[in-house]
Chain A
C-alpha cells in the first residue's frame, strides 16, 4: 500500500530534490556569482525558451507520442515572424504569422500521426528535416536582421524589472497547468495516452485529441522561436537546431512517462530549470562547453535511472 505511494512520490517529487541538490552544489562552489538573485533571473530567462518548447512537448508525450520537429519549428517561425515584420512593418502581423505557421505545421504533424497513422517518431523526424529545409529556403541561408525595436521586446523587454520571457513562461505554464488539471480536454489527453483503446470505448474522439496536442506543441514552439529571434535581435537560418532534445529531456526529467498517460507539469518546468541551472553553473565554474555537454548527458541519464530505480526498489 505505502509502496506504491513511495514510488509515486519519488517519481513526482524526486526531480525537485534533484534540482535542489544541483543548486546547493553550485551555491557552495560559487556563492558570489551563482547564488545571486540576478543570476537566478538570468537562469530563468535562459530556461524560458526551453520551458515553452517542453510544455508543448509534454502534451504530445502525454499521448504517448513525441515531437522531434519543435527545434526546427522554432527556427522557421522565428524567421517568418522576422520576415513578415519587415515586410509589413508591423510586429503584430509578424508575430501572428509566426504563431499561425507554428500551429498550422503542428496540426500537419498531428494529421500525419492521427490520420495517416505514421508513428510519431518517424512523422516528426521527417517534418523536422523538411521544416529545417524550408527555413533555409525562406531565409536564403542569410540571417534576417535590422528588426524594429518592438520586435526585440519579446526577448529582451522587461515589465517592472522582470524580463518578459519569464512572464510569458509563467503565463503559459499556468494556462497549461489549468488545462491539464481542471478541464475535460486535459483528462482526454491523459486518457488517450494511458489507454487509447479504452479511451475510444469511452467515446473520446481520439483523432481530434491527437491532432490538437501536436498543434499545441507547434504553437508553443513558435512562441519559443519568436522569443529566441527577438532575444538575439536576428533570425538565424539555423536557429533552434537541437532544441527538441533539451525539450524532451526536460519533460522526461520531470517524470512524464514516455509511454504516455502519466506526468506532472510542474515536473516539466523543474526539468527545464535543471538543464538551465547546469548550463549556467558550469559556465560560471569555467567548465569547457565541450565537457558541459558530456556532464549534461550523464546527469540526465542518472536522474532518469534514479527515478526508475526508485520505482523498482519500492515496488519490490
Chain B
C-alpha cells in the first residue's frame, strides 16, 4: 500500500492545462525522484501534494484515506512537508525560533503565558542531533547560516512537526559537491528511519546515486515510473524529451554567419560569473547552456547593462561600456529576460503600451505619441509573431504565457535588433508557442541578427544553436558543436565542478 497516492490529477491555470491525468503512488520509506524538463509540471504536482494548489480534478490519498488539502497547513497536518528552493525561514529569527514558528510552546508564570525558550532550544538540539547537524547552533540567526545549513534547518523544521513525507524541490541546486554528499547521507539516514522522500532534480547522475524509483513528467503528463536499477540514464533522457523530438523543432533555416560582432573578454560580475570570454558572430545563434544558478542568466543581464560587468566588451570592433539598459538599447543589444513578469512586462498595462514602451523614441514627435504609427507598429508585430490577442488594448496580465512572451519579443523586433539575448525564451509556455518562438529565432538569424540563447533546456540549446558554450559555477567549462554532441556531453560539462 503506497503511503501517498494521487489519482487522475488535472490542473489548469487560466485555461492552460499544466497537468493531465496524473496517477502516481509513492511507497513508504522510498526516495522517489521526479524529473522532467522545465515546464513539465513537476513543481505544480508537488505543490498540489503539499496543499499549495488545489487540483482542478482528481483525488489524493494518504495511507489509502482520501484527503482534501485546502491549504499547506492541511498537508503539514497530514505529515507532508515541502521544502522549496527559496526557503520559508525568517532570516532575522534564530534557528530555534524558526523551527517553532507559529507553534511556540508556552509556560505559565503568574497567570501569564510566556514562550518556553528552554523547551524550544532543547527540542531544536534534539532534532538537529537526529540530522547529525549539531554544528548548527540553535541560537544562530538564519541570515548568518550557509545555504546548506539553512536547508538542514528546513528539514529539521519539517521533522519537528513529524512530517513523514518530505518533498524537496531541487535541493542540490545551490550546494557544493561536499554539501551535496552530506545532504545525501542525511536523506539516506532519514529513509532508514521510515521517512519518505520525494526528490526533484535536474542532475540525473544524482538521481542514480540516491533514488529508489524515478518518475518522468513531460508536458504535464506522467510518462512513466521506473525502478532505478532497471534503467540507464539514456532511457530517462529519452523519456524526458520524448520520441517526437523531431517535431518539437522547426526545419532549420539556412543563415549566414558573418564576422565577429561582439567580443567579451575576461568578464566578471560579483559572485555570479568570473573570467568569461567568448565571441559572437553576425547572424550566429550561440547557445549558453548550464544548470540553474550557473551564472549564464546573469551574464546575459550584465551584457544588457542590468548588472555591473567588469572586463572588456567589444562591439563591432569598438570598445563598448554599457552602464545601463538605455546604452544597450541604443546599440541594438536587446534582452528578453528570464522572468518576463518582473523584467519584461508592465502587467497591468495593455499590449499597445507594453509594445511601445522602449520604442517611444521613434513613436513620438515632440513628446507626443503618434497613435497611428504606434498602432501600425503593434499590429504588424502581432501579425509577424502570430500573437493571439482580443485587441491591442488588452491587459497583458490576461494573456497566456506564450502570448506574453511574444509581446516581450515584439517590443524588441520593432526596433531591428543587432544582438538579441534570449534568456530562457520558452520557459513556462506551451508547445505550440514554443515552436513559433523557435521559428522566430531562425527567422531573425536569417535576417542577420546575432542571437544568444541562454537556457537550461538542453534539447532546446542543442537543436537551435550553431555553437554551444556550457557554463558551470560561473565559468565557461567547454564549447561544443551541437551537431556532434549529445545531451550527456552538455550535462557533463554543466555539472563540472571547481577542483578544490
> Which of B233-241, B360-368, B462-470 lies at the interface with chain A?
B360-368
Q: Report which of A184, A185, A201 forms a contact with B343, defined as CB distance below 8 A.
A: A201
Contact B395 A4 (CB under 8 A): yes
Q: List residues of B whose CB falls within 8 A of some A CB.
A: 304, 306, 324-326, 328-330, 335, 337, 342-349, 353, 356-358, 360, 364, 367-369, 371, 390, 395, 398, 411
**Size class of the A contact interface (CB-based, 8 Å):** 20 to 34
Contact A198 B346 (CB under 8 A): yes
Contact A191 B344 (CB under 8 A): no
Contact A202 B348 (CB under 8 A): no
Contact A190 B349 (CB under 8 A): yes
Contact A201 B306 (CB under 8 A): yes
Q: Is A233 an interface residue when CB atoms closer than 8 A count as contact? A: no
Q: List residues of A whose CB falls within 8 A of some B CB.
A: 1, 4, 182-185, 187-188, 190-191, 194-195, 197-205, 257, 261-262
Given A183-B367, A184-B367, does the pair A195, B346 have CB atoms closer than 8 Å?
Answer: yes
Contact B324 A187 (CB under 8 A): no
How many Å lie between the Cα of A187 and that of B352 in the bound state?
A: 11
Given A195-B347, A198-B342, A201-B325, does the pair A183, B368 have CB atoms closer than 8 Å?
Answer: yes
Contact B364 A201 (CB under 8 A): no
Contact B348 A198 (CB under 8 A): no
Taking A204-B326, A204-B358 as known contacts, 15 extra A-B pairs with beta carbons closer than 8 A to each other, sorted by chain A number, are A183-B367, A187-B369, A190-B349, A191-B349, A191-B357, A194-B349, A195-B347, A198-B343, A198-B346, A199-B357, A200-B325, A201-B306, A203-B358, A205-B326, A261-B349
Given A187-B360, A191-B349, does the pair A203, B329 have CB atoms closer than 8 Å?
Answer: yes
Q: Which residues of B contact A199 (CB under 8 A)?
A: 346, 357
15 A–B contacts from the bound complex (CB under 8 Å): A182-B368, A184-B360, A190-B353, A194-B346, A194-B349, A197-B342, A198-B345, A200-B324, A201-B304, A201-B325, A203-B324, A203-B328, A203-B329, A261-B346, A261-B349
- Min CB distance A132 to B, Å, is 35
Contact B353 A184 (CB under 8 A): no
Q: Report which of B306, B348, B390, B411 forms a contact with A194, defined as CB distance below 8 A.
A: B348
Q: Report which of B306, B329, B337, B346 forms a contact with A190, defined as CB distance below 8 A.
A: B346
Contact A182 B369 (CB under 8 A): yes
Q: Which residues of A contact B329 (CB under 8 A)?
A: 202-203
How many Å lie between the Cα of A262 and that of B353 in the bound state?
A: 12
How many Å lie between the Cα of A261 and that of B350 in the bound state?
A: 11
Contact B347 A202 (CB under 8 A): no
Q: Which residues of A contact B346 (CB under 8 A)?
A: 190-191, 194-195, 198-199, 261
Which chain A residue lies CB-closest to B304?
A201
Contact B335 A187 (CB under 8 A): no
The 5 closest A-B pairs by CB, nearest first: A194-B346, A202-B358, A203-B326, A203-B329, A184-B360
- Min CB distance B130 to A, Å, is 42
